[in-house]
Amino acid sequence: MKEKKLDWFFKPRSIAVVGASEAPGKLSAIIMDSLLTSGFKGRVYPVNPKHKSVMSLECYPAIEDIEGGVDLAVFAVPAPLTPGLIKRAGGKLKGGIIVSGGFAEGGSEAGRALQEELKEIVKDGGPRLIGPNCMGVYDSISKVDTFFISKERIKRPKKGSISILTQSGSFALTAMDELASEGIGVARLVSYGNKVDVNESDCLDFLAKDPATKAVLLYIEAIDEGRRFVESAAACAAKKPVMAVKMGRRAEGASAALSHTGAMAGRYEVYRAAFKKANVIELEGYEEFIDGCRAFTMQDMAEGPRVLIITDGGGIGVAIADACTNSGLAVAGLTEEKKQALKAGFPPYFTIENPMDLTGSVTDELFAAALEKSMEGSGFDIAIVAPLWGPPNITDRLPELLAEKAKKIGKPVLVCTPGGNYTRRKKKLFEKRGLPVFSTPESCVRAASVLSGKKAAGR
Amino acid sequence: MKEKKLDWFFKPRSIAVVGASEAPGKLSAIIMDSLLTSGFKGRVYPVNPKHKSVMSLECYPAIEDIEGGVDLAVFAVPAPLTPGLIKRAGGKLKGGIIVSGGFAEGGSEAGRALQEELKEIVKDGGPRLIGPNCMGVYDSISKVDTFFISKERIKRPKKGSISILTQSGSFALTAMDELASEGIGVARLVSYGNKVDVNESDCLDFLAKDPATKAVLLYIEAIDEGRRFVESAAACAAKKPVMAVKMGRRAEGASAALSHTGAMAGRYEVYRAAFKKANVIELEGYEEFIDGCRAFTMQDMAEGPRVLIITDGGGIGVAIADACTNSGLAVAGLTEEKKQALKAGFPPYFTIENPMDLTGSVTDELFAAALEKSMEGSGFDIAIVAPLWGPPNITDRLPELLAEKAKKIGKPVLVCTPGGNYTRRKKKLFEKRGLPVFSTPESCVRAASVLSGKKAAGR
């Protein structure tokens, strides 16, 4: 029942911050502040033999001095002190997050020895550990937040339905900040760094059963237990979409990954085979990761790779079609029957093909009607609607009308609306109504490709 | 001396707006308003037999009634009226821009006949024509602006050093709006639609000699005169970088391109061969187009494809390295000599490799020093600096210090700084100082790849 213990990381009743301090800018001060101000409902215990109180809370000399112990402790103290503190806490600690660096990632003999010491503690029945050299956990539901960068610099995402697992702390920060600023929510986010104990497989086991998580995205540099990963990922993927980006793919990238989390980034081909076996959708990089987050926040998997494109600007339709073809998505034509039916209902200057060009004379109502009628039946799996806001009869009603039709259709509908300030302001209208909106043809197509499980490309 | 006549489109002393009207939202009213309020220094003549005056200017019944004629006329009247109006103007008109649709692009017999009529007029020594079915010209220097979408919906870019040629009007609008909102300037922008006369080759001949244009970007659906294009593009590319994106590449895209500008989109391979022969850098799509604009606005061509990556967040460095390798750029290691020299001057926890990871403990000064020292000598052609703003010692001084070093280095320096609102506000500090800044690893690498002329990939 090892996996069950992960509950302590996401739903702790109490958290000790070891190395607690009030000094502005200190890691522990940022973590304390987050836990005290962001809505975490459990108890918070500052731990530091140097202080009597921290942020108006009684400060304990050590974890073992806290009556009844704690579910979770965050260690923000120098690496050499950490193993001893965990040992001394003994049975009074259920889970630990070690945010400090100074372990195997630096490549020094001393760092490696300290990491080995942590491993021994876990083996000997000690608490489960996340890290070291990591950001830890951000949980939008329980409000556990051990990310030691101030909210001013790195925004926290709102409550959402996707969960993210990442080895790289800087990637975790960047992605969470980007998602938060884009209004995309997250359920749980784990940065596990050097993975002395808890790794991606443990987290996948937890997330597979987590009702708050509807889709999982992984940022992977290296996996240690390959067979277990395939099992855990496949079990999770059987319940909800699992996506992964493998970083440090090529020789150059691999050496960088080695130095910064102390793990060996193995051969890329092995990872691809593992992803395939486990039904994990492979993502290409940062952009596809963010686009995938946006897509799965508002839409479900598509049944296939057949895309219909509707636009009021011919050139953008062509650009989307090209990007689809490059990504292995199918941009098949309309059946003769459907063409005739559509032509009967629309002005003669509409181009009734795929892409469908409704021209600058389009109205909100005609745009919505074109979406509904062309997606009727079984010809297409995904619709990409690309309204440019130049045409004078496109108004703020459009997002509402398109969202209504999207609901009726019951298949993923993505919006692609590139442009400047005016267009960017309108994007919010779509997202408010649950339609994911993208700023370039390529980003929208990346999302479509991910939603289709990249089926068409044979990947 | 045909090419010389293009001067009338970019530097006219006078412009007639044919079909002039005050009715809000009318094409001609938007064009009149732009010409009267955006700083165009020449004379503007409304032409419309139905009005005595338009926007407080005397309105003429026809072009031929304007004493001394005009350099340029914009035709915003129904297609069937256009050929007759041009013929009647005779020698009183030097250049015409036909923004109206209703010609060959619709595929109708009548439309095709009208377009043929325009061709005959040009052949018979009539004025040179841009269009029909186009947005015409936006010139940030002379302030000619025939784009008939209001500035509220589509922003106009500031004066800049790149010029853009595009067949698709919607692409022209979207790109200009995006560039304007991103603060990227443009010298001249031409949307030539059906190309009854002036085509990409004519424009390339003009831009080759245009001192205001430092780089040219083309959006191509189809080229009619292949041999001439290669000649003109090669001649222009000998003087300044020329980049092109070919849209409608695949079968599906091709059929869409056919319907919307009435031109046949030929086989993609033929275009690639033509680009290669003419030393035209091929762009992949919309994103690379915009990234290329940003890169060439602030930087010159790189001498080669060897990229050095410096970051304070390991994971982002790895992502950039991976994207470089995917794009055919080289992320070679540092020489042993250089490594030793760098290690001597920096804290031991810096990872002195490529990517170089300065960790979360970095300061502004150390970041700048790392850039200068690692780019010394002949090892690298392009530097990608990727500061994440989480680390507490990174301040607003960083952009200034990096820009100073970039000037000394004399090679392209690109900034990659992904993240949310805090980071996005900081981006402006880099661009103010002439450092192009990108929001994702992939977009920064697209720019690096374009600046290197995509040399490494053998494309």
Q: What integer pLDDT is reported at residue B250 of this predicted model?
A: 65
DSSP state of A231: H
Is the reported ipTM for this assembly greater than 0.90? yes
**Maximum pairwise Cα distance, chain A:** 81
pTM score: 0.93
Using an 8 Å Cβ cutoff, are A441 and A323 in contact? yes
pLDDT, one tens digit per residue, over A266-296 is 688 889 999 999 999 999 999 999 999 999 9
If phi over 0 gives left and psi between -120 and 50 gives alpha, with beta otherwise, what is residue A247? beta
Judged against a pLDDT cut of 60, whether residue A252 lies above it is answered with: no
Q: Who has greater pLDDT, A25 or A54?
A: A54
10-residue block means of pLDDT along chain B (459 residues)? Answer: 73 97 93 96 98 97 97 97 97 96 90 97 95 97 97 96 95 96 97 96 97 97 91 98 90 52 65 95 96 96 96 93 94 93 91 93 96 94 96 94 97 97 96 96 98 67
Strand, helix or coil at A101? coil
Asked if B443's CB is within 8 angstroms of A285's CB, the reply is no
Judged against a pLDDT cut of 90, whether residue A262 lies above it is answered with: no
Q: What integer pLDDT is reported at residue B4 of this predicted model?
A: 53
Cα–Cα distance for residue pair B270/B457, rounded to 1 Å: 19
Judged against a pLDDT cut of 60, whether residue A439 lies above it is answered with: yes
Contacts of B355 (CB under 8 A, 6+ apart): A256, B309, B310, B311, B314, B317, B318, B320, B321, B331
Using an 8 Å Cβ cutoff, are A147 and A135 in contact? yes
Phi/psi for A215 (5° steps) reads -155, 150
Rounded to 10 degrees, the C-alpha dihedral B282/B288/B294/B298 comes to -40
Rounded to 10 degrees, the C-alpha dihedral A157/A163/A169/A175 comes to -50
Query: In chain B, which residues have their Cβ closer than 8 Å to the Cβ of A106?
Result: 349
If phi over 0 gives left and psi between -120 and 50 gives alpha, with beta otherwise, what is residue B248? left
Classify strands A188-191 and A136-139 as parallel, antiparallel or unpaired.
antiparallel
Vertex A152, ends A149 and A157: CA angle to 5°?
80
C-alpha distances (whole Å) from B394 to each of A174, A179, A336, B107, B402 are: 15, 22, 61, 59, 12
pLDDT, one tens digit per residue, over A373-427 is 999 999 999 999 999 998 889 999 999 999 999 999 999 999 999 999 999 999 9
CA distance A92 to chain B (A): 32
Task: List, as one string, the DSSP characters of B295-324.
Answer: HHHH-PPPSSSBEEEEESSHHHHHHHHHHH
Contacts of A91 (CB under 8 A, 6+ apart): A69
Query: In chain B, which residues have their Cβ closer than 8 Å to the Cβ of A180?
Result: 420
Using an 8 Å Cβ cutoff, are B233 and B278 in contact? yes
Count, in order, helices (H) and strands (E) of chain B: 16, 18
Judged against a pLDDT cut of 90, whether residue A248 lies above it is answered with: no
Vertex A382, ends A416 and B175: CA angle to 5°?
15
Strand partners, B162: B215
Query: In chain B, which residues have their Cβ closer than 8 Å to the Cβ of A247?
Result: 315, 318-319, 322
Asked if A261's CB is within 8 angstroms of B353's CB, the reply is no
Q: What integer pLDDT is reported at residue B408 of this predicted model?
A: 96
Nearest to B262 by CA among B195, B169, B199: B195
Q: What is the mean pLDDT of residues A134-148?
A: 97
Helical pair A314-326 and B286-298, crossing angle rounded to 10 deg = 100
Using an 8 Å Cβ cutoff, are B266 and B340 in contact? no
Vertex A199, ends A197 and A204: CA angle to 5°?
135
pLDDT bucket at A459, cuts 50 / 70 / 90: very low
Residue of B nearest to A152 (CA): B422
Q: What is the mean pLDDT of residues A330-335?
A: 93
Asked if B420's CB is within 8 angstroms of A318's CB, the reply is no
Q: Is the peptide bond before B83 cis (omega within 30 degrees of 0)?
A: no
Q: Which two tokens stand for residue A435?
A: 């339609």
**Mean pLDDT, all residues of chain A:** 93
Nearest to A349 among B106, B179, B318 (CB): B106
pLDDT, one tens digit per residue, over B427-443 is 999 999 999 999 999 99
Contacts of A179 (CB under 8 A, 6+ apart): A157, A185, A186, A290, A293, B420
Q: What integer pLDDT is reported at residue A264 of this predicted model?
A: 44
b vs e for B112-126, b when ≥16 Cβ sit within 10 Å of the residue's Cβ?
A: eebbebbeebbeeeb
Selected residues 179-198 of chain A with any CB under 8 Å from a CB in chain B: 179-182
Classify strands B53-54 and B57-58 as parallel, antiparallel or unpaired.
antiparallel
Q: What integer pLDDT is reported at residue B458 of this predicted model?
A: 41
Q: Which two tokens stand for residue B276?
A: 């290669």
CA distance B92 to chain A (A): 32
Query: In chain A, which residues have their Cβ closer than 8 Å to the Cβ of B319?
Result: 171, 247, 285-286
Taken as a whole, chain A contains a residue count of 459
